[in-house]
Copies of this chain bind each other. A is one copy, B any other.
Amino acid sequence: MIQRITIIGAGNLATHLSVELKRAGYEILQVYSRTEKSAKELAAKLESDFTNSINKISKEADLYIVALKDSAVLEVLSKIDFQNKPLIHCSGSLPLSILKSYSENIGVLYPLQTFSKNRKVNFKEIPVFVEANNQETEKLLIKLASSISPKVSVLSSDKRKSLHIAAVFACNFVNHFYTLAGDFLQTEDIAFEVLYPLISETAKKVQEMNPADAQTGPAVRFDENIINDHLKQLNNFPDHQEVYKSISKSIFKRHQEKNK
């Protein structure tokens, strides 16, 4: 049974997940972060111990959750003795197997959402994907995940990676387009806020109709006059121009395939 958890990491995901687990009734024993300030800040929210010294990671936890950026995971893992206690990571892209030298009971808990430190999210709406190397750990992770979300599924490492790629398109790349739109509007002295209703509707619409059917705009109509006119207007924004060209081409191509 899991009662006491040590969380390794104090970034966006570590923060949201550990706060939610505490709310669900788990005891967060300790927070580890390389940066003392981050460890301390998160520990304050969790009423837990904290450390920035890897040697001082507690042996008393029932579960170790590694919530670090992928590039930092391996380095940290190699320095801790997990005594074969359940050990999990939260990465979309790293396979389960990355943990196999470090414990006999390993797993993954991947909440499919974008987390920013000071922004509340409703875990009840977040799909959580789990995976483990044995039935006992899988059962334990399903229970843990179900305590924070009703949408828990078991998913293999390969499928999870695919899901992560799709999420990069649907979230990270999408957000970058909001940024590009905002940057451009700023130079034109138009408030980014005027786009809010359009941004909301675009996100809502795709949840009620197929995204390819929801596509509107000059590229899908291949309205060359508008496209060329827009490209001209973007002359002083070479990055915007580049992106505009390549995405318009991609939209039109996808539309042609759909109508074949």
Asked whether B211 lies within 8 Å of A175 as measured between CB atoms, the reply is yes
Asked whether A197 lies within 8 Å of B113 as measured between CB atoms, the reply is yes
Q: Is A75 an interface residue (CB 8 A)?
A: no
List residues of chain B with CB within 8 A of the CB of A209: 116, 119
Name the segment of A32-40, A82-90, A130-138, A200-208 touching the other chain.
A200-208
The residue from B93, B206, B229 contacting A93, defined by CB atoms under 8 A apart: B229
How many angstroms from the CA of A178 to the CA of B204 in the assembled complex?
A: 12
Q: A208-224 CB contact bits vs B (8 Å, 1 = yes)?
A: 11111111111111011
Identify which of residues 157-213 in chain A touch chain B, using a CB-to-CB cut-off of 8 Å. Answer: 159, 161-185, 188, 190, 192-213
Identify which of residues 218-260 in chain A touch chain B, using a CB-to-CB cut-off of 8 Å. Answer: 218-221, 223-226, 229-230, 233-234, 239-240, 242-244, 246-247, 250-251, 253-254
Q: Is A126 an interface residue (CB 8 A)?
A: yes
Looking at chain A's contact residues, the main secondary structure is helix
How many angstroms from the CA of A175 to the CA of B217 in the assembled complex?
A: 10
The residue from B71, B178, B219, B223 contacting A211, defined by CB atoms under 8 A apart: B178
Asked whether B230 lies within 8 Å of A194 as measured between CB atoms, the reply is no
Number of copies of this chain in the oligomer? Answer: 2
Asked whether B197 lies within 8 Å of A175 as measured between CB atoms, the reply is no
Q: Is A60 an interface residue (CB 8 A)?
A: no
Interface residues of A, count at CB 8 A: 92
Q: Is A121 an interface residue (CB 8 A)?
A: yes
List residues of chain B with CB within 8 A of the CB of A197: 112-113, 125-127
Asked whether A172 lies within 8 Å of B233 as measured between CB atoms, the reply is no
What's the least CB distance linking A184 to chain B, in Å? 5
Q: Is A23 an interface residue (CB 8 A)?
A: no
| CB-CB nearest 3 A-B residue pairs | A172-B217, A203-B203, A178-B211
Query: Can you name 9 A-B residue pairings with CB atoms under 8 Å?
Result: A70-B226, A112-B194, A116-B213, A125-B200, A165-B234, A171-B199, A171-B201, A175-B205, A182-B212
